[in-house]
Structure 1
Amino acid sequence: MEHGEKNVRVVQSVQRAFDLLERIAVQPEGAKLSELADGAGLNRSTAHNLLASLEALGYIAQDRKGAAYRLTGKVNRLQRLDAEAERALRLRLRPVLQAVSQASGESTFLGLVSGMDYLCVDAVLSNKPLHLAVRPGERKPLVVEALGHALLATDPELAETVRGDDPDAWNLHAREIVEAAKLGFALDLDSQNAGISCVAVAVTLRSAIAVAGPTSRLPKARLIKIGEKIRQELDAVRPANQEWL
């Protein structure tokens, strides 16, 4: 079918699927099949097939068969934070990065969820001759490193999406992610990059802070202490009675 002044061809099934997503999004408690079908002008069978596809892809969910459909967190993970929100978070967390880097003597950085990766958006580098030179703009898979493990351990929906996207990589790191959920922080003890160890703490479902450096300076006991220091500094700047964003 044709749509719009620019004569852009819109695939009808895609248009209908997004229409259903938008209708679910404006219902805080979700919406049932009959309500969605009637509102979109679709027969129940067509609406059910579209909804089943969206559910299989992980964008919507039902608590039980016949219950209302609701959005999952996967929709939010399609994009980064908007520019103003990201800037506000970076400004609020910059003193934490500086304090933790000074206390630990190691490079400290902030990463945000970006699809199946995390994106480094701010960093304070160690002034020691031998240090991890992480830079804003660097991107790494969530399932591979400690910062990603901290985020996966905090957000079950994100974890389920990543596990479905790359089950082999997930199986390689599943034990570390489970351990991160138990401890409240993730550790990388010289396992991903030879000679480098790391500790990471989730700040929100979509952001985490990590400290990394030479394994010779970062045995497990020291990493745990640094993890505790990150938490202390976060508590010192955490907004009172409100969310980070």
Structure 2
Amino acid sequence: MDDSKLTVRAVERALDILLCFTDETDLGLTEIAARVELHKSTVHRLLASLEGKGFVQRDEATEKYRLGLRILELYANMSHADDPAVLLLPEMEALRDRLDETVSLYVRDGDERVRIQAVQSNQAIRRVAPVGARMPLYVGASSKILLAFADVAAQAAILDAPGWPEHIAKGDFLEQLAEIKRLGYATSVAERELGAAAVAAPILARTGRLAAVLAVSGPSSRMTPEVMKQQAPVIMEAAARMGKLMKP
């Protein structure tokens, strides 16, 4: 293998290590090595390079690694003008204050959805929604919106993917998606998490492009089917306002 290929492979491995921190704050060497499926000595060398550049930092007391300040420096220099997570935050906060439940923003990434922003409810018993969390596209109100407003080819690719659960009939699911698109919103109760419920609506840019999904979630004891039906028009109105803020 020539030097250029070795360099590219090292970069890919270093990026894989950084991606380990998308759902964890602190990780030890053994944990990271297991996640990226590399020998600990290789991971240790890569971590030393990342630490030297400030992308990770090591806690001497726990011997665990976390993201370094250089990540924040990169983020600070991103253009936020078109970032839905920043642009739509005031509307999300207003919706949280009106409904007093947790508000989340999702986008599709391949065969998963990713929460890119969240505003937590102020209630003592509430749904905690960590930013960066990834979820499958076959369960949950937000997943159904992402698929309902996707094109036919994208729907087929997801439904025909190897990870599609056998217990979910594709024909029935497609009928459900068609009804969701007609209504303009989706609901879910305990589909992904016991005791949780959610209502979601599409955020459509002025051209009709699906830009993101707006979701309100909370305990199913509060968010009953009747309550969610009442919330749906409010959420759709908020999503429509957000869509007008997005680039075409």
Matching residue within 149, 156, 167 for 1:154: 149
**Identity between Structure 1 and Structure 2 (%):** 21
Q: Does 1:132 align with 2:147?
A: no
Aligned length: 167
Residues 85 and 214 (structure 1), Cα distance of their counterparts in 2 relative to 1, 3 Å cut: same
Paired residues of 2:201 and 2:214 also in contact (CA < 8 A): yes
The within-5 A match list for 1:171-182 is: 171=169, 174=173, 176-182=176-182
- 3-state SS of the aligned residue for 1:6? helix
Structure 2 unpaired stretches of 5+: 7-77, 205-209
Tell me the equivalent position of 2:117. 122
- Per-residue deviation, 1:235: 3.2
Tell me the amino acid that sits aligned with residue 235 of structure 1.
Answer: A
Paired residues of 1:113 and 1:206 also in contact (CA < 8 A): no
Q: Residue by residue, what CA displacement relative to the aligned partner does 1:194-215 show, whole Å, maximum 9, x if unpaired?
A: 2111111111425101111111
RMSD: 2.8
Tell me the amino acid that sits aligned with residue 161 of structure 1.
Answer: A
- 3-state SS of the aligned residue for 2:221? helix
Q: Does 1:208 align with 2:213?
A: yes
Tell me the amino acid that sits aligned with residue 191 of structure 2.
Answer: S
Q: Residue by residue, what CA displacement relative to the aligned partner does 1:156-193 show, whole Å, maximum 9, x if unpaired?
A: 33211111112626527715434322311111033332
Paired residues of 2:203 and 2:240 also in contact (CA < 8 A): no
Matching residue within 94, 103, 127 for 2:89: 94
Paired residues of 2:105 and 2:117 also in contact (CA < 8 A): yes
Paired residues of 1:110 and 1:123 also in contact (CA < 8 A): yes
Take 2:215 and 2:145, find their aligned partners in 1: how far apart are those partners? 9
Take 1:214 and 1:95, find their aligned partners in 2: how far apart are those partners? 24
Take 2:141 and 2:188, find their aligned partners in 1: how far apart are those partners? 6
Paired residues of 1:143 and 1:169 also in contact (CA < 8 A): no
Matching residue within 239, 242, 247 for 1:244: 247
Tell me the amino acid that sits aligned with residue 195 of structure 1.
Answer: G
Residues 196 and 182 (structure 1), Cα distance of their counterparts in 2 relative to 1, 3 Å cut: same
Tell me the equivalent position of 2:137. 142
TM-score of the superposed pair, with normalisation by structure 2 = 0.59
Take 1:158 and 1:206, find their aligned partners in 2: how far apart are those partners? 15
Structure 1 unpaired stretches of 5+: 9-82
Q: Does 1:217 align with 2:222?
A: yes
Paired residues of 1:146 and 1:200 also in contact (CA < 8 A): yes
Take 2:239 and 2:141, find their aligned partners in 1: how far apart are those partners? 18
- Per-residue deviation, 1:151: 0.9
- 3-state SS of the aligned residue for 1:168? coil
- Per-residue deviation, 1:222: 1.6
Residues 130 and 167 (structure 1), Cα distance of their counterparts in 2 relative to 1, 3 Å cut: closer
- 3-state SS of the aligned residue for 1:207? strand
- 3-state SS of the aligned residue for 2:160? helix
